[in-house]
Amino acid sequence: MSTDSFRRQLVLALGRSTPAFHPPRAPRPGRLRNLIDALTRRTPAFTTQQLGSLSSANRQDDSRAADFRETDLAGAELSNRDLREADLGGINLARANFAGVDLTGANLAGVDLRGADLTGVDLTGANLAGVDLRGADLTGVNLTGALLIGANLAGANLAGVDLTAANLRGVDLAGVDLAGVELAAANLTAADLTRADLTGAFLIGADLTGVDLAGVNLAGVDLRGVNLTGVNLTSADLREANLDRANLTGVNLCEANLYGAVLTSTKLAGARWDWATIWPPERAAEIWFRSAERPDQPGVYVVLPEAGGRDRQSVVV
């Protein structure tokens, strides 16, 4: 056994048997070593054998171990570990078990997490840019403030997930089940929510600018203060939705159902609608009077900034 290997094993042994022990503070390059140090420091019972192929990687020479990105941890058992601020960027963690792991502030950029079990994981403030989460179980995950730009969530289970203030700009969420998901203040600008289920989702203060929500079910959803500027809500179900203080400037509400929706202080200037649009009974007359028919689209009306007359003269919009 080489001197370096002997020292490494000694450090690991001390970390397991002495909870208060901290490995030497001298700089030690490599993501693999940083991860091992973090685990031995925070989890006294940790052994490298519990990391599956990570143990074999640890037995490699320094040049191999120094590049953690080359480590394949597919299917690894990592449940209930403390990996706060760990750098796992670019690693293959497909089908890994992360149940109960603390990944607060961790770097997971570009990581392969297909089919991984992330049940109950704390990913607050984590970097998940470009992460592949297809088929992953994210039940009860906390993604508050997480960066998810470019992440692939197709087929992921997001039941009970907390995405408060998460950055989901441009993320592909087509067909994803977001029912009951916490999305308050989340950035969903230009995200693909085609066929997504947003039933009961919490979207207070979220930014949905430029999102296509045609036909989406938003019945009963809390959309207070949501920015929906220019959004396509054609045929959307907005029954009983709370749109208090929401910005619906320029939205397309043709064939949308807003029966029972709360429109207190809602910005509707420029919103388009047609005779198939169902408004809350108490607001229907007001909206009718302050709208004008589009000259280029007979039968389609635009809500004007100020109340207009009954003549419904066509205007240039």
Write down the pLDDT at residue 272: 97
DSSP state of 297: E
Q: What does the mean pLDDT of the chain come to?
A: 77
Per-residue burial over 67-96, b = 16 or more CB atoms within 10 Å of its CB, e = otherwise:
ebeebbbbebbbbebbbbebbbbbbbbbbb
21-25 long-range contacts, CB within 8 A, separation 24+: none
Helix (H, G, I), strand (E, B) or coil at 171: coil
- Whether 252 shows a pLDDT value over 60: the answer reads yes
In the predicted model, what is the mean pLDDT of residues 112-134? 90
Write down the pLDDT at residue 302: 97
Report the range of poorest mean pLDDT among 31-40, 54-63, 95-104, 107-116. Answer: 54-63
How sure is the predictor about 24, in pLDDT bands with cuts at 50, 70 and 90?
Answer: very low
- Whether 30 shows a pLDDT value over 50: the answer reads no
* Higher-confidence position of 133 and 31: 133
* Higher-confidence position of 196 and 309: 196
- Whether 218 shows a pLDDT value over 50: the answer reads yes
Domain ranges of the chain: 1-71
Write down the pLDDT at residue 58: 38
CA distance 301 to 75: 56
- Whether 255 shows a pLDDT value over 70: the answer reads yes
Can you give the length of the chain in residues?
317
In the predicted model, what is the mean pLDDT of residues 251-268? 96
- Whether 213 shows a pLDDT value over 60: the answer reads yes
Write down the pLDDT at residue 37: 52
CA distance 267 to 283: 13
Beta-bridge mates of residue 287: none
Write down the pLDDT at residue 82: 83
Write down the pLDDT at residue 21: 42
Beta-bridge mates of residue 122: 102, 142
Beta-bridge mates of residue 72: 92
* Higher-confidence position of 257 and 173: 257
Token pair 């940083």 is found at 34
Share of the chain above pLDDT 90, in %: 31
Report the range of poorest mean pLDDT among 18-32, 120-134, 238-252, 294-308. Answer: 18-32
In the predicted model, what is the mean pLDDT of residues 81-86? 86
CA distance 14 to 316: 78
pTM reported for the whole predicted model: 0.64
Token pair 């289920």 is found at 197
Write down the pLDDT at residue 76: 82
* Higher-confidence position of 32 and 187: 187
Report the range of poorest mean pLDDT among 70-74, 101-105, 189-193. Answer: 70-74
CA distance 3 to 286: 83
Write down the pLDDT at residue 9: 57
